Amino acid sequence: MSEQAKTPAIPATKQAPAEYFTGGTAWVTMVVEGNPTDCTVGDVTFEPGTRNNWHSHPSGQILVVTAGVGYYQEQGQPARLLRPGDAVSIAPGVVHWHGASATSIFTHYAINPGVSKGVADWGAPVTDEEYQAAQA
């Protein structure tokens, strides 16, 4: 094996797919790929005001907040304010969104188990009205 082949890859940060986000840009660095655990871990940073669309996960999701201030909201429930150290455990199929506050970046690990069943089922954008209500 060559020295080059033994050098670990530096994880690449990519812009999250814009069609699933509103209000700004989000960035994703994959830190764990899906093998051998069928679970991925992504480090996701949202610009202030940026949130993802309403969505659910076929096998659920765990969020662990590492920086900034943001929100998590399940359909029909009040939004939760999230700060570093907070964690959210999301059951399979529960419709929700997560994203930054209007004035702060927001960074969380997104832990996605069971990715062989798919990562997310995406729905409509979180409207400005829904986003403003989350901050009330």
Among residues 61 and 107, whose Cβ is nearest to Mn ion?
A: 61
Among residues 10 and 82, whose Cβ is nearest to Mn ion?
A: 82
Number of residues that bind Mn ion (CB under 5 A): 1
Binding residues for Mn ion restricted to 73-92, rule: CB under 5 A: none
Member of 22, 45, 50, 61 binding Mn ion (CB under 5 A) = 61
Phi/psi zone of residue 33: left (φ > 0), alpha (ψ -120 to 50 degrees), beta? beta
CB of 79 to Mn ion, least distance (A): 14
Structure tokens at 84: 């570093």
Angle at 65 between CA 61 and CA 71, to 5 degrees: 80
CB of 133 to Mn ion, least distance (A): 19
Near Mn ion by CB under 5 A, which window of 20-28, 59-67, 70-78, 126-134?
59-67
CB of 2 to Mn ion, least distance (A): 40
Count helices and strands (H / E) in the chain: 2, 13
Residues in the chain: 136
Binding region for Mn ion (CB under 5 A):
61
